[in-house]
Structures are given as C-alpha cells and as structure tokens.
Structure 1
Amino acid sequence: MDLGLTGKKAIICASSRGLGRGCALALAEEGVDVVLNGRDPEPLAATAREIRDRFGVQVTEVAADVSTREGQQALLAACPNPDILVNNNGGPPSRDFRKLDRQAMLDGVTQNMVTPLELVQAVIDGMAERGFGRIVNITSLSIYMPIPGLDLSSGARAGLTAFLAGVAKTVANRNVTINGLLPGKFDTDRIRSTTQFAADKAGVPLEEFAERQRREIPAGRIGTPEEFGKACAFLCSEHAGYITGRNMILDGGLYPSAF
C-alpha cells in the first residue's frame, strides 16, 4: 500500500534508538524526510547513516534534550513546517512513589506531558493552514494497566492523552489528526530496565522473570520496534485522515479487555 507520504517532512523525537527509531525507519521507507533527535550523538549519527544509506531521504540530526526549550527550538529550526510530529521521550526511571519528591514529579510531568504539548502548540496551526498534519504521541499501555514503580510516567502520559483528546476535535476538519500509540512490552532499553527493576523487587533472576512476562502475552513474544514503526507510519498516512483522538494499543493481546 502506498501511504501517500513521499516528500513529507517529519520531526521524530527521541528517535536514535528504540520505538522512536522504529518510527523513523518506517517513515523514511515511505519517502519521508526526517529530523532525528537524541541526547547521545553516537547512536543518533548511526541511525542517521542507516536511514540515508537505506532510503535516500533527507535526514537531519538534532542532538538535544527535547524537554528543554533549547532542544525544542533546535528541532523546529531544523524543520519549521513539519507535516508529521511524532512525540516521544524517555520516562522517569522505575521508583517507589514514596521516594518521589516534588522536583522529581515536576520533571516527570515536564518530560511526558508538558514537552509534547509544547511541540503540538508549535506545529498544529501550520498543519491546519496547509491542510495536512499527523501528530502521533508514543505513550504507554501503562495508562490503562498501571505498573508499580512507573506511577509518575503513567500519570503524566494519561494527562497528555486526556488533554489532546479534546484538542484533536478542533482540527479534525482541517485534515490534522492526533492519535496515540500505546506500546506494551517491546524490545527496548526501557523494557529491559523496568524488567530488571521488577525482577529485583520480586527476588527472581532476570531471565526467569522475563520468560514469565513473555508467557503472559498471548502472542508469546515481545514486540519489535520495527513493527511498532509500521503502525506509526500508517497513522501518519493519507489513508488515516478519519482516525483521530484515538489510542491504539500494540501489546500482543496483553490488555485484558474487548474495548
């Protein structure tokens, strides 16, 4: 299927590795020029080289923390009029909620709620004026199935989801969509760290705990960033203009609900 994205421009936050990287690869494969972002220049440069070599699209690297004003300004300077914005950011580390002080809570909300909202504010009117825009927010299955230790991440991402559900309705008639992708367990640095935290807390060896988690997933495996990226690319496509304000769960059937 031709997704109708050739020549479009995308800002993809936190895209040097993990799920963001999967989204960047999938969009580049569809002919999208991409602005990549990460705090560590080495994996960022490696991802940029791979995308250039494989897909021949224009790739711009912005090594910056997207949660800072400076980082956001650098991204928007690299691509002032994006057709696509993929919001993504690392979440707070696993921690007992009793150990969260006020500054840690404010930092978590800034990372996972305020930062994506600021970027949406910066790009949404231009998208509406041009008559095309796709905003995809990578959040987490934990907003539906909270995970002890990730309470701050879950709360901030749930706030983002509720906030943008209303905003999505205001631009739908201008062919601008806002949707969320809610990953379950995917093969990323993040899932490895949270699995280690949970295994340590349970007093179980890491591999034993990881295998126990895999058995809980009806698909019998954890997901790959590449297949996650394909779902993102479809939500960004010209065929997805009638999908907005929705949250797509990608979890191999883990979430125990029919709705």
Structure 2
Amino acid sequence: MDLGIKGKNAIVCASSRGLGRGCAMALAEAGCNLVVNGRDAAILAATAQEIRATYGVDVIEIAGDVSDVSVRQAMLAACPNPDILVNNNGGPPLRDFRELTHEAMVAGVTNNMITPIELIQAVIDGMAERGFGRIVNITSLSVYQPIPGLDLSSGARAGLTAFLAGVARTVASRNVTINHILPGKFDTDRIRSTIEFAAKKAGSTVEEQAARQAAAIPAGRFGTPEEFGQACAFLCSTHAGYMTGQSLILDGGNYPSAF
C-alpha cells in the first residue's frame, strides 16, 4: 500500500533502537525524510546509516536525551516544519512505588508526559497551517492494564493520553491527527529488563521466564519492532486522517477485553 507520505519530514524520538527504530525504518520505507534521536551516539549513527543505505532518504542524527531541552531544540532546528512527529522515550525502571522519591516522580512525569506535550506544542500549529500533520505517541499497554513496578510509567503515560484527548479534537478539522500506540510485550531491551526482574523475583532463569510470558500471550510470542513500526507508519499515512484521539493496542491479544 502506498501510504501517501513520500517526501514528508518526520521527527522520531528515541529511534536508535527498539520500537522507535522500528517506526523510523517503516517511515523511511514509506519515503519520509527523518530526524532520528538516541542517547548513544554510536548506536544512533549506525541506525541512521542503515536507514540511508536501505531506503535512500535524508536522515539527520540528533544524539542525546529527548527530555533535555537543548536536544529538543536541536531536533526542531534540524526539522522546523515536521509533517510527522513520533513521541517516544524510555520509561522509569521497575521499582516498588514505596521506593519512589519526589525527584524520581518528577523525572518520570517529565520524561513521559511533559516532554511529548512540549514537542507537540512546538509543531502542532505549523501542521494545522499546512493542512497535514500526524502525531503518534508511543505509550504502553500498562495505561489500560496495571503492571506492578511500572506505576510511575503508567501514570505519566495515562496522563499524556488524557491531556491530549481534548487537544486532538481541536485540530482534526485541519487534517492533523494525534493517536497513541500501546505496545504490549515486544522483543526489545525494555521487555528483557522486565523479564530479568520477573525471573529474579520468581527464582527462575531468564529463558524460563521469557518462555512462560510468551506462552501466556494469545499470539504465543512477543511482538517485533518491525511490525510495530508498520502500524505507526499507517497512523502517519494519508489514509488515517479520520482516526484521531485513539489508543491502538498492539499486544498479540494479551489485553482481555471485548471492546
């Protein structure tokens, strides 16, 4: 399917690896020029070069933590008029909520709620003026389905979802959409860390815990960053202009709900 976004300019946050990388790859396959971002400059450079070599699109690398104001400013300077924004950032580590300090909670909300909102503030009016904009926020299935130990991440991402629910409706008539993708268990560094945490708690091996968790998913496996990226690219396409303010669950059927 031609997604109709060839030549569009996209900013993809935290895209050197994992789900963000999957999104960057899929958008590049659709013909988008990219600004990619990651904390590890070497890994980011390797990802950027692979995208250039594979898809022949323009790729600008901005290394650093997207929650850093100067990093966001550099991203926006590299792409002042983005057509597409994919918000993504690492979440707080697994931790019992009793152990969360005030500083840790402020950092979690900053990383997973305030940072994406500030990026949206910077780009949304330009998108509306040009008559095209696609904003996708990578959140988590934990917004719907609590995961003990990820309470801070869940709360910040749920706050982002609620905050943007009204915002999305104010720009829909200008062909600007805001949607969220809620990943379940995907084969990324993040899920590996949670598997290690669960294995240690259960007194089992990492391999046993991974097999147990995969077997509990109706699809019988973890998702891949590549298939996640393709879903993101569709939400960014010209075909998805009538879908806004929605949360798309991608979890292999793990969330037990009929609606």
Query: TM-score normalized by structure 2?
Result: 0.99
Who is 1:127 aligned against?
Answer: 127
Q: How far apart are 1:254 and its partner, in Å?
A: 0.3
Alignment of 1:52-201 (within 5 A): 52-201=52-201
Distance 2:129 2:199 in 1: 50
Deviations 1:39-82 (A, max 9, x none): 10011001001000000000000002110111110110010000
Please report how far the alpha carbon of residue 242 of structure 1 lies from its aligned counterpart in structure 2 after TM superposition: 0.1
Runs of 4+ in 1 over 2 A off after TM superposition: none
**How far apart in 1 are the matches of 2:143 and 2:151?**
9
CA distance in 1 between partners of 2:29 and 2:207 (Å):
34
- Whether 1:27 aligns to 2:27 is yes
User: What's the CA shift string for 1:171-214, capped at 9, x where partnerless?
Assistant: 00000000000000001000000111122122222111111101
- Residue aligned with 1:167, SS: helix
What secondary structure sits across from 2:134 in the alignment? strand
Where do 5+ consecutive residues of structure 2 fail to align? none
Q: Which residue pairs with 1:226 in the alignment?
A: 226
Report deviation, 1:101. Answer: 0.5
State the Cα distance separating 1:12 from its structure 2 match: 0.1
Distance 1:162 1:208 in 2: 37
CA distance in 1: counterparts of 2:102 and 2:195, whole angstroms: 26
For the pair 1:2 / 2:22, whether they are aligned, the reply is no
Q: Distance in 2 between the 1:229 and 1:157 partners?
A: 19
**Aligned partner of 2:201: which letter?**
K
RMSD: 0.6
Structure 1 alignment gaps of length 5 or more = none
Whole-angstrom CA distance in 1 between matches of 2:207 and 2:150: 21
Q: Which residue of 2 aligns with 1:241?
A: 241
Structure 1 CA distance for aligned equivalents of residues 196 and 154 of structure 2: 18
The 2-side partners of 1:190 and 1:110 are apart by: 19
For 1:172 and 1:241, how far apart are their aligned partners in 2?
A: 8
Q: Deviations over 1:14-58 (max 9, x none)?
A: 000000000000000010000000010011001001000000000
Question: SS in structure 2 opposite 1:187?
Answer: coil
Listed as ranges, the matches of 1:200-215 within 5 Å are 200-215=200-215
Tell me how far 1:126 sits from its aligned partner: 0.3
| Aligned sequence identity (%) | 76
Corresponding residue of 2:38? 38
SS of equivalent to 2:255 = coil
1:97 Cα offset (Å): 0.7
Counterpart Cα distance in 1 of 2:253 and 2:11: 30
TM-score by length of 1: 0.99
When structure 1 is superposed on structure 2, of 197-206 and 182-191 the one drifting more is 197-206
- Aligned to 2:22, the other structure's residue is in SS state helix
Question: Hey, what's the Cα distance between the residues in 1 that align with 2:97 and 2:89?
Answer: 20
C-alpha distance in 2, partners of 1:200/1:174?
50
Deviation at 1:103, TM superposition (A): 0.1
Partners in 1 of 2:254 and 2:125 — Cα distance?
37
> Higher mean Cα deviation, 17-26 or 202-211?
202-211
